Amino acid sequence: MLQSGTYKIGAWFHSGRFADQRFDTAGQSLASPLSSGVARMLNNNYSLYAALDQPLWQESEGAGGLNIYGSWALRGIATLPISIFDTGLIYKGLFGREDDTIGIGFA
């Protein structure tokens, strides 16, 4: 019998001020030689996320087996205005060694 998986959803919100990591006060890239070197200040940031870890196959009760995992995050516009996704497979107990884990993933 397979164990039940783990599923998580959540969010966070940061209401304070913080320095931009990309642009100066004039909107110029901080990496540019023309930049003032003074980062612009930003307000508020957030992230939404979801994660799963689900057994697909188990050798025997309490033994190793194959799991699938995945996570997704939507980052706030102030830091990285992108979605991040990763997924993969993990096999625990390879060659009968319960503490060994091997996996393959994609991000």
Q: Are strands 65-75 and 6-24 parallel, antiparallel or unpaired?
A: unpaired
Dist CA 86 CA 107 (whole Å): 4
User: Which tens digit of pLDDT belongs to each residue from 75-91?
Assistant: 776 666 667 899 999 99
Rounded-to-integer distance, Cα 12 and Cα 97, Å: 39
The model scores a pTM over 0.75: no
Q: Where are the domains of the chain?
A: 6-106
* DSSP character at residue 2: P
- Confidence band of 45 (pLDDT split at 50, 70, 90): confident
